[in-house]
């Protein structure tokens, strides 16, 4: 199976995104490392979707973005060429459903952790400040991009409620705009380009980043049997 990917990098540091598996990604200190991780990521993603795993995966780089950002900390500003085309209503519903399922599953993972303030990681600072270390910090950080992401495409949303509730409300505000399926491209904060397609991809991608970190941290403290893994990491 061929998996078309976008390669964003700063020198050797790499973020590799699977275009047709919205939000699926790998990171690596080199492109080769990121490519080696991709089959596991794709099969994890397929299991999340309730689909069968695949035995053979060929990675095809279809777009490259050279970045000045701190890629190793998952700082990203790429917009895919495929994220700048209009949507039809059926595709939008599928993408929205996926973004909401991701939020729901992130919430389920968070709620399964016995002590949400426990941590096993050391303090570390990145471009956005201190890396969230506990389940509580990871959850709040992941939930609270809601207002920011929607604002980048001129949608007035907030961070009130849980991660599923505030994301759902954001989509409801979006759908009140008559032209939302046109998937207009906006120049947002820091001159970064955004579209509705990109916002949906970024939600799922950001969920996966912090769900993986939350799951690893929680398993280290509480054991694998005690933690829900709705993403099948």
Give the strand pairing for 129-130 and 125-126: antiparallel
Please give the full DSSP string across 141-173, using - where no structure is assigned.
Answer: HHHTTHHHHHHTTT------S-HHHHHHHHHHH
Q: How confident is the model at residue 106 (pLDDT cuts 50, 70, 90)?
A: very high
Q: How confident is the model at residue 186 (pLDDT cuts 50, 70, 90)?
A: very high
Angstrom distance (rounded) from CA 205 to CA 83: 14
Q: How far is CA 150 from the centre of its chain?
A: 14
What local confidence, expressed as pLDDT, does residue 129 receive? Answer: 64
What local confidence, expressed as pLDDT, does residue 187 receive? Answer: 96
Pick from 193, 189, 166: nearest CA to 99? 166
pLDDT above 70: residue 163 = yes
Q: What is the CATH number of domain 82-226?
A: 1.20.120
Give percent of the chain above pLDDT 70. Answer: 97
Q: What is the CATH number of domain 2-78?
A: 3.30.2390
What local confidence, expressed as pLDDT, does residue 116 receive? Answer: 97
- pLDDT tens across 61-74, in order? 999 999 999 998 88
Range(s) of the chain covered by CATH 1.20.120 = 82-226
Range(s) of the chain covered by CATH 3.30.2390 = 2-78
- pLDDT tens across 110-149, in order? 999 999 999 987 766 655 567 899 999 999 999 999 999 9
What local confidence, expressed as pLDDT, does residue 125 receive? Answer: 64
What local confidence, expressed as pLDDT, does residue 12 receive? Answer: 81
What local confidence, expressed as pLDDT, does residue 122 receive? Answer: 73
- pLDDT tens across 212-227, in order? 999 999 999 999 999 9
Query: pTM to 2 decimals?
Result: 0.95
């Amino acid at each position: 199976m061929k998996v078309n990917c976008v390669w964003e990098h700063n020198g050797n540091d790499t973020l590799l995104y699977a275009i047709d598996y919205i939000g699926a990604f790998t990171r690596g200190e080199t492109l080769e490392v990121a490519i080696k991780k991709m089959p596991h990521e794709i099969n994890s993603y397929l299991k999340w979707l309730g689909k069968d795993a695949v035995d053979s995966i060929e990675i095809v780089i279809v777009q490259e973005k050279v970045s000045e950002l701190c890629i190793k900390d998952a700082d990203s500003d790429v917009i895919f060429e495929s994220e700048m085309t209009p949507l039809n209503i059926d595709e939008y519903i599928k993408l929205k459903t996926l973004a909401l399922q991701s939020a729901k599953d992130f919430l389920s993972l968070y709620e399964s952790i016995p002590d949400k303030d426990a941590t096993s990681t050391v303090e570390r600072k990145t471009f956005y400040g201190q890396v969230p270390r506990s389940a509580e910090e990871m959850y709040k950080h992941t939930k609270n991009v809601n207002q920011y992401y929607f604002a980048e495409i001129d949608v007035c949303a907030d961070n009130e409620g849980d991660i599923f509730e505030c994301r759902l409300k954001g989509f409801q505000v979006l759908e009140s705009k008559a032209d939302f399926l046109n998937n207009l491209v906006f120049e947002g904060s820091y001159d970064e380009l955004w579209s509705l397609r990109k916002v949906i991809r970024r939600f799922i991608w950001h969920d996966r980043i912090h769900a993986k970190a939350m799951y690893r941290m929680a398993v280290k403290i509480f054991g694998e049997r005690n933690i829900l893994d709705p993403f099948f990491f």
